[in-house]
Structure 1
Amino acid sequence: MAPTVFIDGEAGTTGLQIADRLRDRKDLELVSIDPTRRKDADERARMINSADAVVLCLPDAAAIEAVSLVENANTVIIDASTAHRIADGWVYGFAEMAKGQREAIAKSKRISNPGCYPTGFIGLMRPLVEAGIVPVDHPVTTNAVSGYTGGGKGMISMFEDEASENHTKEAFRGYALAQSHKHPPEMKVHVGLGFLPMFAPAVGRYAQGMLVEVPLITRSLPNSPSRSHIHDVLSAFYGDEIFVDVKSLEECDSVGSIEPEALNGTNMMELFVFGSDDQVRLVARLDNLGKGASGAAVQNLNIALGLEEKSGL
């Protein structure tokens, strides 16, 4: 019998994309709540505890409430909110992040789906910190831009709904200027840094797709690592992965500019090592709704249920 999957919050942006990836699959059964009972705690509890796996696509407080409803010890919970990304007892759902991470996901009943920006940042930085190229106390800066779907329904309405009182025609907007964004703690913990990174996010006038950049002045690092050495470390770290692709230096050198939408609709992340031996620009490209959200959730679901990891992706 195929395992059952319930998406709590299926009507949201991430929930809809996950449902689209699961709906036609034969190796699992997607079950849905009666739309008229979406806010009925008793019915939600019944759905959660009767499913083999539940994906939470909810605001943080609602996700915490949903977890409190779990009574079935065998139910796998994958939380796409921020609520449990650095919480004790939860496995971080970035399978490519470290040796043994995929196995930890497979054994866990509590999996936190990574944030979209942190996926790019961790993908670039963790291998370099583990290799000792970037010290844990190094002052790290990351600049990033996402499509407006990364801001949820409120930001989507702001850019798409001309009748909205908050409607904007801006082409580009920097935000989180006070350095109070929810992602840096997640970045710090899962890279193993001693301090929060400086995080400079922005949103552009396009729906989805993301670039995450980490600039490195190599003379400020121990032994002044060359660009090729940094590239070699990343290439070796992800050499066997199917969803993380480290572009060759030749490919990087052939790129005059980079746009964020090329991987939309996929669960891929591409890593680039631009620049020179003195100044390296590390860039991760991914779909903020793919590898940065729904794609990662489906990948984690496949691993947790013992299904083919690439199914639906």
Structure 2
Amino acid sequence: MAQTVFIDGAAGTTGLEIADRLAGRSEFELIVLDDASRKSSAARADALQAADFAVLCLHDDAAREAVELAAGSKVRIIDASTAHRVAPGWVYGFPEIVGREAVASATRVSNPGCYSTGFIALVAPLVRAGLLPADWPYSCNAVSGYSGGGKALIARFEDDADIAWRGYALALGHKHVPEMQARCGLDLPPLFTPAVIPAHRGMVVEVPLMLAAMPGAAAPDRLREALAAFYADSPVVRVADATVPDELLLRRSNGPSDAMTLHVFANADGSQARLVAMLDNLGKGASGAAVQSLNLMAGLDEKVGLAL
């Protein structure tokens, strides 16, 4: 018998991409509200109360409201907003980091932020293994396709072809920073510099390391080996070998992908390194991650329905 799924906020970019990944899958049956009902609290409450699973593709306040509307029901929730990413009682929906069993058994799962996914994938295993210090002042530079900014930013980029680069969060208060710090076990919040480029999808997240100045930091080859071992059983995350390409490219023509590739680059004497994650901000950075968690919660293979 198919398990029912309600996507609250199904008309947004993340919701639409989740629905695409679930289309044609016999394991799930979508509960769909018509346009007249999808903003009705009463209709949403009925859907949440009836569903086996709900995925919240909403802004933070609406996500909190949805959790209240679901109170007392059997529904198991995946929240794609920022509202519960460091909240007590919520399992962080990054199976490779928190453990597949933790996600599979959870009733409340918070979907990671897109930038956070790249940063945490690179840093958390290395800090956990003692190969990078937890008390270092890390920085993170990242660029993303504009689709992660919602309908208003999508329209802005598509209507103004003159925008080549958009830097933002200039007051250093980006909403992903708390989860980046918490999930990596860092003493200090990372200095995060995000930007948006004129591509619909795609993301590069980089963590530069001055290894020579970092007490107890391991050599670049050891960092790469540790990441490769950590993700050895992951069908989603891969670690590139030591071969250094001439360049890394994000292409505007890239289609959906739920995979993520991690790189470790270094200078000749190993005193400096660049940790780089490449992913689809709408894939492992959003919708693909939600479907991966949904699969595990439903007792299925985590990679079913993903573009890998």
Which of residues 155, 158, 162 is equivalent to 1:169? 162
Structure 1 residue 66, shift from structure 2 partner: 0.5
Q: Summarize the Cα distance change of 1:263–1:160 in structure 2 as closer, same or farther, 3 Å threshold.
A: closer
Which of residues 171, 183, 186 is equivalent to 2:176? 183
Which of residues 123, 126, 129 is equivalent to 2:127? 129
In 1, the alpha carbon distance for the partners of 2:73 and 2:44 equals 16
SS in 2 for 1:179: coil
Give the TM-score taking structure 1 as reference length. 0.94
Structure 1 residue 35, shift from structure 2 partner: 1.6
Structure 1 residue 259, shift from structure 2 partner: 1.6
Partner of 2:146: 148
Report % sequence identity. 53
Partner of 2:258: 267
Structure 1 residue 65, shift from structure 2 partner: 0.4
Structure 1 residue 263, shift from structure 2 partner: 6.6
Q: Which runs of 5+ in 1 are unaligned?
A: 162-166
In 2, the alpha carbon distance for the partners of 1:216 and 1:121 equals 13
Q: Summarize the Cα distance change of 1:243–1:263 in structure 2 as closer, same or farther, 3 Å threshold.
A: farther
Q: Which amino acid aligns with 2:210?
A: I
For the 8 Å contact 2:137–2:190, the answer to whether it is kept is: yes
For the 8 Å contact 1:290–1:296, the answer to whether it is kept is: yes
Q: Which runs of 5+ in 2 are unaligned?
A: none
Task: Answer yes or no: is 1:214 the counterpart of 2:207.
Answer: yes
In 2, the alpha carbon distance for the partners of 1:71 and 1:110 equals 12
Structure 1 residue 168, shift from structure 2 partner: 5.9
For the 8 Å contact 1:264–1:290, the answer to whether it is kept is: no
In 2, the alpha carbon distance for the partners of 1:181 and 1:21 equals 29
**Residues 287-312 of structure 1: per-residue CA shift (max 9 Å, x gap):** 00000000000001111111221111
For the 8 Å contact 2:236–2:303, the answer to whether it is kept is: no
Task: Answer yes or no: is 1:70 the counterpart of 2:73.
Answer: no
For the 8 Å contact 2:133–2:216, the answer to whether it is kept is: no
Deviating more after overlay: 218-227 vs 132-141:
218-227
**Residues 47-99 of structure 1: per-residue CA shift (max 9 Å, x gap):** 0110000000000000000100013442110000000000001000000114x
Aligned residues: 303
Task: Answer yes or no: is 1:3 the counterpart of 2:3.
Answer: yes
SS in 2 for 1:225: coil
Pairwise CA RMSD:
1.3
Q: Which amino acid aligns with 1:242?
A: P
Which of residues 111, 114, 138 is equivalent to 1:113? 111
Task: Answer yes or no: is 1:285 the counterpart of 2:275.
Answer: no
In 2, the alpha carbon distance for the partners of 1:247 and 1:214 equals 16
In 1, the alpha carbon distance for the partners of 2:30 and 2:172 equals 39
For the 8 Å contact 1:133–1:221, the answer to whether it is kept is: no
Q: Summarize the Cα distance change of 1:138–1:263 in structure 2 as closer, same or farther, 3 Å threshold.
A: farther
For the 8 Å contact 1:260–1:286, the answer to whether it is kept is: no
In 1, the alpha carbon distance for the partners of 2:176 and 2:207 equals 15
SS in 1 for 2:36: helix
Task: Answer yes or no: is 1:16 the counterpart of 2:16.
Answer: yes
